[in-house]
Amino acid sequence: MSPRRRLFLGVFAAILLSAQDKQPAVQITGAVKQPLNLTAGDLAKMARATVRINTEGTQTVFEGVWLHEVLKKAGAPEGMHGKALAAYLVAEAQDGYQVVFSLGEINPDLIDNEILLADTANGKPLGGAQGRFQLLAPKDKHRSRSVRMLTRIDVVQVGK
């Protein structure tokens, strides 16, 4: 084999290995003690939850991890007073779409709300135009705060 061909094959192999290492992930950043870069494998190791959503007569069963558990793992402010109630998060999609949730409305000790960081639908990994991860707010009257193609959740602390 010629040196040129060997070089080409080596570069090609390095590109393939690099592409395999870059798994889709959701970044948890901002006012947290431990920023996270969560892949589907990381989420699979956490306590799982499901949400059923009806869209135009079709039911989809999403599975993932409750967002409050993800934030707890990252060390976001928590509790029923103080910093936890003066903080919010911005969830961002790959296409730039953003939504806001207060940390208080994610806390199950304060409000009966469910926000799911989903990675499967009907038992299959999410993908394609919907993205590898979705943030779902099934108790909202309109699904406009659900985020497909989720890539980042940034926690912001308000105050002095």
For residue 1, being part of any structural domain is answered with no
pLDDT (tens digit per residue) in 84-103 = 789 999 999 999 999 999 99
- Tell me the mean pLDDT in the region 27-34: 96
For residue 86, being part of any structural domain is answered with yes
Is a pLDDT exceeding 70 seen at residue 13? Answer: no
For residue 4, being part of any structural domain is answered with no
Instruction: Show contacts of 88-92: CB within 8 Å, 24+ apart.
Output: 88/155, 88/156, 88/158, 89/30, 89/153, 89/154, 89/155, 89/156, 90/153, 90/154, 90/156, 91/135, 91/147, 91/150, 91/152, 91/153, 92/147, 92/150, 92/151, 92/152, 92/153, 92/154
Instruction: Supply the CATH number for residue 37's domain.
Output: 3.90.420.10
Is a pLDDT exceeding 70 seen at residue 8? Answer: no
Q: What is the pLDDT of residue 35?
A: 97
Q: Domain range holding 97?
A: 24-157
